[in-house]
Amino acid sequence: MKTFVLKSESGQNASKNYQIKYAEVLNNAQYKAVMAQNGAYLVIAGAGTGKTRTLIYRLARLIEDGVHPQSILLLTFTRRAAKEMLDRAANVLDDRCKRVRGGTFHQYCAQILREYGGELGINPTFTILDSSDTQEVLQHVRQPYKEKNKGQRFPEKSTLYAIISAAFNKQIPISSVLQLTYPQFLHFAEDLEKLKQDFIGYKESQNMLDFDDLLVLTKELLQTKEHIKVQVGLKNKYVMIDEYQDINRLQADLIKLFSSVSGNVMAVGDDAQSIYAFRGADHSNILHFPDEFGAKEVIKLEQNFRSTQQILDLANNLLLQATNKYDKKLFTLREEGDLPGLIKTSSENEQSDFIAQYVLHLREQGIPLHDVSVLFRNSRDSYDLEVDLARKGIPYVKYGGQKISEAAHIKDVLAHIRVVVNPGDVISWSRILTLIEGIGPKSASELMMWMRGARDGVSPSKNYLQKVGQLSELLAFIKEKSMDVSACVEAIKNYYEPICRKKFDDSPKRVKDLEAFVTIAKPFLNISQLLEDLTLDPIDGTAIDTEKTQHEESPLVLSTIHSAKGLEWNTVFIIQCVDGIIPSGYSVDSEDALEEELRLLYVAATRAKDQLLFTYPIIKENGFGEYFSNPSRFIQKVPSNLLEPWNLLRDALPDESNPDLLTS
């Protein structure tokens, strides 16, 4: 009798003589994920646990096993991420790894549509619209509906873009999007559905596809054309997806279609770092992956290589407050460290003062500024700190938030400078004239005609001339002092501040931004240079790096929490940790939104390697005045043995050169 022994899949791996000694360079959980064979797998990669390393070594292992590189599909959220992974995989194995098909969902869908889209009547020479182009098309399509609803506030092009994109990506009707996010426009639901169809028709007539079209049409193609789904599926022997917690419903459906033949899917992500619901990401996708894909196993990476155990203990405790999650407990071999600190300050000014002085203290201890970060929920939460840093000459860079030149109040300020540099700038003249109470677009037009000498019987009333008198004095001053940029901006600030307070509900924050802009303007030689630099090289955030000399080190990092994801620093401050900010006041009535706010704080906390500090002012300010705040409800639930309160002590004679202001 003959005997034939069937080898197990795991046995095949174990006996193979690999070039890379996987068991030696990976921990047990990473090794398990890397050696996973056919079928669907979910890898829950906690913060700092080597997610990217695991993906890289699995790519290498598949190729060592003889899998053709071009039969592997690696999907990431940026082209750069895919390229970096393939380059790193090539470094650990060889250049075969660079031939893996790596890229974004949109990139891959565009390839499919150019190859097979003719089956849906799509011309393969289609133009891909970016978000700006898409909004311009929407502006064109929007005009008839705006005219139809004259006298009513109809959604702007950017809002329409957000509404329609959400409907596509979440695979829900326009009315559902409006209910969730824009209830003030619910009465336009029928018109907006028609507008969406007009929008689709216009793009078809012009052979244009936007980002959403690439995904929607690829799904339609693969769902309705079985032979193409099979052809695409045969090319994808193995599918790997990075940052799975950030995908939307449409992308989850596409992954099923891409892997429909082989069923070999590995999704890597962390449910605890799902923080992009506002972009359409659906946290439930990663929770439902095992059932949807029939996953063989959920593999958890829990060994953290970034933070001290004290920081991880706090982060683990935060996750205990969540309901919808995968249970995991991060650990590290780095057991020596300080407890995270909780610093209560009397005001935002004291919060800023403490951070600035402690940053200087850290620098004296040999920690470079670029290895220190200040994180916040919203871009404006850092305004007070930005002003203080600028005054103390601490260089910083800010990530996240609106470009300074795009902020409405800064555009108002810049418009005053522009009319001095270019008296023929009609757009800027119109902007600054209509800021004056009682002057609308029509009156502004008449005034501009009068100023240009094109009077033709136009004679503005004395009332109007009186109204522009103060403006005329300001512009004359700017022209006279044009070489002293900060003096010009200071004068505009003083003139504009009362207007700003009337125009914006959140004027106190915007006034602080104006103060920061005065400081920002100081290094410029003249107002023309200021305008040119802001136009050609827009500054990210609502503040600019303070001027650095060649001898100064890289700047301190200020960042929104969303922009900090994936990054790490030696020391991390999380500021404005008060209820109403973390969590946002808009989230408290929704369990899902509240849990995302909790995950946001978790992401912030796990950016720190050695020191983590939470700060909050007990007195806050809004458009209605000052009020007493409470620390974040998430922080209040952390046991006292995991979080150490700090006391701030003022010297009898305050000396900002002495950073030792605290005792713990």
Q: Is the bond preceding residue 583 a cis peptide, omega within 30 degrees? A: yes
Q: How far apart are CA 443 and CA 454, in angstroms?
A: 15
Distance (Å, rounded) from C-alpha 556 to C-alpha 357?
Answer: 13
Residues in Cβ contact with 371 at an 8 Å cutoff, skipping those fewer than 6 apart: 569, 570, 571
Looking at residue 411, its pLDDT comes to 84
Q: Which of 179, 203, 205, 204 is nearest to 192 (CA)?
A: 179
Q: What are the per-10-residue average pLDDT scores of the chain (664 residues)?
A: 52 69 95 96 96 96 95 92 93 94 92 94 86 85 89 86 87 88 88 92 88 93 96 96 94 96 96 88 93 95 97 97 94 91 92 94 94 91 83 86 67 85 79 84 75 54 68 84 80 89 74 76 74 53 36 79 93 95 86 94 97 92 70 95 90 52 50
Strand partners, 44: 269, 300
**DSSP reduced 3-state for 426:** helix
DSSP secondary structure, 459-510, as one string: ---HHHHHHTHHHHHHHHHHHHTTT-HHHHHHHHHHHHHHHHHHH-TTHHHH
Instruction: Return the bridge partners of 180, or none.
Output: none
- 94: helix, coil or strand? coil
**Per-residue tokens: 456:** 């033709």
Sign, CA dihedral 211-217-223-228, equals negative
Q: Which residue from 324, 272, 257 is spatially nearest to 49, judged by alpha carbons?
A: 272
Q: What confidence score (pLDDT) does residue 524 get?
A: 74
Residue 483 has a pLDDT of 67
List C-alpha distances in Å: 202 to 206, 319, 501. 6, 47, 42
CB 500 within 8 A of CB 370: no
Sheet strands (E) in 125-249: 127-128, 208-209, 238-241
| Paired tokens of 300 | 């958890």
Supply the DSSP symbol for 396: E
DSSP character string of 329-372: --B-S----PPPEEEEESSHHHHHHHHHHHHHHHHHTT--GGGE
Q: Which residues pair with 208 in a beta bridge?
A: 127
φ/ψ of residue 267, rounded to 5? -100, 130
- Distances from the Cα of 136 to the Cαs of 128, 141, 160, 536, in angstroms? 13, 9, 11, 21
Q: What is the largest CA-CA distance in the chain?
A: 115
Question: What was the pLDDT predicted at 76?
Answer: 94
What integer pLDDT is reported at residue 590 of this predicted model?
87
DSSP 446-457: HHHHHHTT--TT
- Give the pTM: 0.75
Task: Mark residue 60 as left, alpha or beta (left: phi above 0; alpha: psi -120 to 50; beta: remaining).
Answer: alpha
* Contact present, 616 and 351 (Cβ < 8 Å): yes
What whole-number distance in Å separates Cα of residue 327 and Cα of residue 324?
9
Alpha carbon distance 241, 285 (integer Å): 13
Q: Would you state the pLDDT for residue 3?
A: 60
